[in-house]
Amino acid sequence: MKILIVEDEPELRKVVQRSLEASAHRVEYAADYPSGLRKVEDYSYDCILLDIMLPGGNGLDILKEIKKLHPETSVIILSAKDAVDDKVTGLDLGADDYLAKPFHLAELHSRINSALRRRVQKGESHIVYKNLKIYPEDRILKINEQEVLLNRKEYDMLYYFMVRPGKLLQKTTLAESIWGDHIDQADSLDFIYSQVKNLRKKLKENHSEADIQAVYGVGYKLV
């Protein structure tokens, strides 16, 4: 998943980021209210870990913006242990879950995976489209129940398509979601073509009923 950490405690932020990246997640971060709000307005994420007490503003205001711009995004509030009112307000505003600091990293991973299962996988351990089945927690693809090996970027790309079947995805959105927000500084997005080409080849070789269709000058969609 592509995850945003909005947290002003640098040590906590670094520990959480390293742990999530070790589990193959794409992680971005913001250290205060203005940068957190800017990230939410400019980019999309699968899950956002949101602190409430931030330099420059209240995280609950960021939560309101997330729900307005990206209602499908999962949000987990990171709150002080005794901040009961903030937890209740956050859940009422649409947050999926909350964790009181300090917390165990294993529990954080479990909460993130649970949020994914509820919001994207409808409670299942896998996502199905046509004869394709992927298991996000294990990063496995099966076609006709046979496992197909993908490299990390190929898997990330297919996952992004499979949670948005039939939706036209612009090249910029695809690149930001898989390679990170800094990709908007790249001179060219031509590398996406070769990644899509390789992925399409593997799907075809394994008799996939789904294909990635190019829409000239715009992007791609899973059909």
Report how far residue 66's alpha carbon sits from residue 115's, in angstroms, rounded to the nearest whole number: 16
Specify the pLDDT at position 166.
92
Dihedrals φ, ψ of 95, to 5°? -65, 150
Contacting residues for 38 by C-beta, under 8 A, at least 6 apart: 30
Q: Could you say which of 119, 146, 178 is where a domain stops? A: 119
What token pair was written down for 53? 């007490």
Q: Which residues pair with 29 in a beta bridge?
A: 5
Q: Tell me how many domains the chain contains.
A: 2
Contact criterion met (CB below 8 Å) for 4 and 41:
no
Specify the pLDDT at position 121.
63
DSSP annotation of 147 reads E
Q: Could you say which of 119, 135, 157 is where a domain stops? A: 119
Give the CATH number for residue 198: 1.10.10.10
Specify the pLDDT at position 221.
95
Judged on CB neighbours under 10 Å (0-12, 13-18, 19+), 2 is buried
Residue pLDDT, tens place only, 169-212: 998 888 888 887 777 666 778 888 989 999 999 999 999 999 99
Pick the closest to residue 215 from 184, 169, 158, 172 (CA basis): 169
Which of the residues in the chain have pLDDT under 70? 81-82, 121-123, 184-186
Dump the DSSP string for 11-80: HHHHHHHHHHHHTT-EEEEESSHHHHHHHHHH---SEEEEESEETTEEHHHHHHHHHHH-TTSEEEEEE-
88 and 174 assigned to the same domain? no
Q: Is the entire prediction scored with pTM above 0.85?
A: no
Specify the pLDDT at position 81.
63
Specify the pLDDT at position 87.
81
Contact criterion met (CB below 8 Å) for 123 and 162:
no
Specify the pLDDT at position 122.
67
List the domain range (segments joined by +) for residue 131.
Answer: 127-222
Judged on CB neighbours under 10 Å (0-12, 13-18, 19+), 140 is middle
110 and 141 assigned to the same domain? no
6 and 112 assigned to the same domain? yes
Report how far residue 46's alpha carbon sits from residue 37's, in angstroms, rounded to the nearest whole number: 16
Give the CATH number for residue 97: 3.40.50.2300
Specify the pLDDT at position 181.
72
User: Side chain identity at 49, as an amino acid letter?
Assistant: L
